[in-house]
Amino acid sequence: MNPTAAPPVIATVSVRYVLNRWDLIRLNIWASVRNPILIGILALACAFMLWSDLRTPELRAESLVYKLFFSIFLVVVMTFLMFCLQAVVALCLVFARKYRGVLGNHEIEVRDEGLVERTDVNETVNRWSGFKKVISSGSYLYVFVTDVNIHVIPKRFFASSAEAEFFQYEIERRVIAARSTLA
């Protein structure tokens, strides 16, 4: 978390947003394609299939170009199938559960004591010293309080991209300040 030059000052450092099921599906897919365990399983499955297929007499007799094309095609197909399987699992999980307190209205406010989240079922303060990281994607801010506790903030609820950048900057600045006081 290295904050860059501070964006223009914006009066409030809070955001109100509504999290829906499609936001959770996008989170699940986003996390799945970055999951090192799934990537490892995919790599092992591809390696095993290539090893077993390329050892057959039919493929041994083929040219190197054919074997290379076959290998690339197999990896692409396996990656596509794994992605589709993950998307189906995400759809089933997100639409089968209620997610009380996760779906619906949220307000997140940056305060000196920590990041305050309010929903219709809870109010939580997460202290700055415990934060892991903040990741900005094209449409979302992912605020990792821990490895498994993530605030998903759709950027569409910020008035501008500068406001979203400032919000991220403020979180990162406070996390760095809290860590420096602990060291």
Name the DSSP letter for residue 183: -
Question: One-letter amino acid identity for 89?
Answer: V
Rounded mean pLDDT of the chain? 88
- Identify whether the C-beta of residue 141 lies closer than 8 Å to the C-beta of residue 153: yes
CA atoms within 13 A on the CB side of 7: 16
- Residue 11: pLDDT above 60? no
Which of 35, 63, 96 corresponds to the end of one domain?
Answer: 96
pLDDT tens, 93-106? 888 888 888 899 99
Q: What is the pLDDT of residues 118-143, one digit of tens each?
A: 998 989 999 998 888 899 998 999 99
Looking at residue 165, what is its pLDDT?
93
The answer to whether 23 touches 154, Cβ cutoff 8 Å, is yes
pLDDT range class, residue 19, cuts 50, 70, 90: very high
Question: What confidence tens digit (pLDDT) does each residue in 43-75 have?
Answer: 999 999 999 998 999 888 899 999 999 999 999
The rounded percent of the chain whose pLDDT value lies above 70 is: 93
Task: Compute the radius of gyration of the chain from its Cα atoms.
Answer: 22
Q: Which pTM value belongs to this model? A: 0.75
Same domain for 119 and 175: yes
Burial class, 128, CB count within 10 angstroms (exposed 0-12 / middle 13-18 / buried 19+)? buried
Residue 2 has pLDDT above 70, yes or no: no
Examine the domain organization and report whether 109 and 160 are in the same domain.
yes
- Determine the pLDDT at residue 10: 42
- Number of domains forming the structure of the chain: 2
Q: What is the pLDDT of residue 115?
A: 92
Length of the chain: 183
Is residue 129 situated within a structural domain? Answer: yes
As a whole number of angstroms, the distance between CA 28 and CA 165 comes to 23
Amino acid at 98: K
Burial of 10 (0-12, 13-18, 19+ CB in 10 A): middle
Are 111 and 92 within one domain? no
Residues 108 and 178 occupy one common structural domain: yes
- Give the three-class secondary structure for 124: strand
Last residue within a domain, chosen from 70, 96, 122: 96
Does residue 109 sit in the same domain as residue 178? yes
Last residue of a domain, one of 52, 75, 96: 96
The pLDDT, as a whole number, for residue 9 is: 46
**DSSP E strand stretches across 20-136:** 104-110, 115-118, 123-126, 133-136
162: containing domain: 14-20+100-182
Same domain, 66 and 122: no
Could you tell me which of 52, 53, 51, 42 has the C-alpha nearest to residue 76? 42
